[in-house]
Amino acid sequence: PELNFELEVSKIFDGLGRTHEFKKSITNKFDALLIKGKKILKDKAEIKEQTQKLENNFEKLLEVFSKINFESNERISSDILTDLLNSITDLSEEIYHYYIAEEAKIQKEKNDHRYYHKYGYELSSIREFQSALYDFKDLLSSDICELANNPFLVLDGEAGIGKSHMLGDIISKRIQNNYESVFLLGQHFVSDEGPWIQILKKIQLNITSEIFLKTLNERAKESEKRIIIFIDAINEGRGKYFWLDNVKSFIDEIKKYEYLGLVLSIRSSYKNLIFPKDEVVSLNIIEHKIYGFRNNEYEASKLFFNNYDIQLPNVPLLHPEFQNPLFLKLFCEGIHKSGQTKIPDGIQGITSIINFFIKNVNEILSKPNKFDYSNGINLVDRSISSIIQFKIDNDLRYVSYEKAIELIEDTISKFVTKKGTFLDNLISEGIFSKNLFWKGNNEYEEGIYLAYERFEDHLLC
């Protein structure tokens, strides 16, 4: 929680949940629109017709808006609002062009085109109003409002980009504000059975999916607050094997219940496998991609660096890795645990941080409750080296998941007797990433690679 950097994208969940924050955000924009709109209603004979029509439209707009219950489950019909807003846009343009034309006459008379001589305030007020108008129209057509009417979301993003953290944060806030959720993890779907069979087993309910969903819906209806079902990382576990054949019927079944919503998160490289592009339209779901800290690198780095008592650099961190929350966290942990308080200079400095991170993961995996080996033997470093060497020898971008297991098991077998997949632990600790790679002819394979290119660059050095 102390490293929670709230992204703008998180606001889409307010619309999806029809929360009080959703009502507040849309009402604030609407209020700003009306306040700025009143400033352009000047009593001027030449534009009296336009200003009267504009004032009438403002009154109609307020009347329509006031009848919408943004926190209820009723569909928000934006057609009338949109028609009024389009009419208001046209009228404001007419008024704007009148003042521009009047200013042009004065500028010509004075032979001075450097600034507005008479109607500068009016033109500035119209531009401010139009900015508020476009903001409000953008909100009405955004995913936030789309999800208010159709609460079915597929959220995708790359590894470590913050999908799971965001969902955990959203659900925690929903709990604090008395909104209920069902939260499931893709890693818990461990068989090829249908999703409802596995879900009901996991939550230990000996009932049908119909009874389960009907009960949830009645509970939500009684409280007048949507209940959202969240399933994080549906590509994990056995998800890539059974979701393709089950996702449509799964979504359609939940859609029968008006007070329920659904959020599915997935790693981007697996999305086309489970949600083929030609079938997404028929699913009638909203798709949204998250990009981590992109365009917010400085603010996010400042939060993380302050938390770890690390001195901020004099220049912004422009490396693409710093858009990735997991990398930023591991980077700061490496500096902090090595006893340093600022980013070391040069390649050797960064390499020391990477080496410390690898050593730290090795200590974790060597513990008795993990693989129980001497931490003096750096099996993590040896595993990394075996993968890099294989990539170099075979000129590969990645190593297939099966081949990687074979390479790493050969590397560690002399030192480890406990059962378990060492590679999966290296993935969960952030050393490697696992993704889906398309081979062509509608074939794909799972492959692994070092989580961050900068790791590989320095390890090769």
395-426 pLDDT, tens digit each: 998 999 999 999 999 999 999 988 778 998 99
Residue 124 in tokens? 């500035």
Give the pLDDT confidence score for residue 460 in this predicted structure.
54
Contact by Cβ (8 Å): 292, 325: yes
Give the pLDDT confidence score for residue 454 in this predicted structure.
55
- Per-residue pLDDT at 243 exceeds 70: yes
Lowest mean pLDDT among 211-220, 297-306, 384-393, 404-413: 297-306
Per this entry, what is the length of the chain?
461
> What is the rounded radius of gyration, in angstroms, for the C-alpha atoms of the chain?
28
Separation CA 16–CA 57 (nearest Å): 29
Give the pLDDT confidence score for residue 146 in this predicted structure.
94
- Per-residue pLDDT at 382 exceeds 80: yes
Confidence tier at 347 by pLDDT (50, 70, 90): very low
Provide the 8-state DSSP code for 77. -
- Per-residue pLDDT at 238 exceeds 70: yes
Query: Taking the complete model, does pTM exceed 0.75, yes or no?
Result: yes
Lowest mean pLDDT among 204-218, 220-234, 277-291: 277-291
Give the pLDDT confidence score for residue 453 in this predicted structure.
58
- Per-residue pLDDT at 110 exceeds 60: yes
> Beta strands 286-289 and 152-157: pairing type?
parallel
Q: Which residue has the tokens 């008024």?
A: 95
Task: Give the residue-averaged pLDDT of 232-249.
Answer: 91
Average pLDDT, the chain: 88
Confidence tier at 350 by pLDDT (50, 70, 90): low
Q: Nearest CA to 378 among 393, 366, 396, 395?
A: 366
- Per-residue pLDDT at 461 exceeds 70: no
More confident residue, 451 or 387: 387
Q: How far is CA 154 from the centre of its chain?
A: 10
Lowest mean pLDDT among 195-199, 206-210, 320-324, 378-382: 320-324
Separation CA 389–CA 382 (nearest Å): 10
Hey, what amino acid is at 199? I
Task: Give the residue-averaged pLDDT of 350-366.
Answer: 80
Hey, what amino acid is at 183? F
Report percent pLDDT > 70 for the chain. Answer: 94
Provide the 8-state DSSP code for 414. T
Lowest mean pLDDT among 24-33, 98-107, 320-329, 421-430: 320-329
Q: How many CB atoms lie within 10 A of CB 48?
A: 11
The SS3 assignment for 391 reads helix
> Beta strands 286-289 and 227-232: pairing type?
unpaired
The SS3 assignment for 59 reads helix
What is the side-by-side strand order in the sheet with 432-440? 399-400, 443-450, 432-440
State the greatest distance between any 2 C-alpha atoms of the chain, in Å, as a whole number.
93
More confident residue, 261 or 328: 261
Separation CA 355–CA 353 (nearest Å): 5
The SS3 assignment for 334 reads helix
Hey, what amino acid is at 256? K
Separation CA 155–CA 169 (nearest Å): 15
Give the pLDDT confidence score for residue 353 in this predicted structure.
66
Give the pLDDT confidence score for residue 317 in this predicted structure.
65
Give the pLDDT confidence score for residue 248 in this predicted structure.
93
Q: How far is CA 270 from the centre of its chain?
A: 16
Q: Nearest CA to 317 among 328, 326, 330?
A: 328
Give the pLDDT confidence score for residue 456 in this predicted structure.
58
Lowest mean pLDDT among 157-166, 221-230, 315-324: 315-324
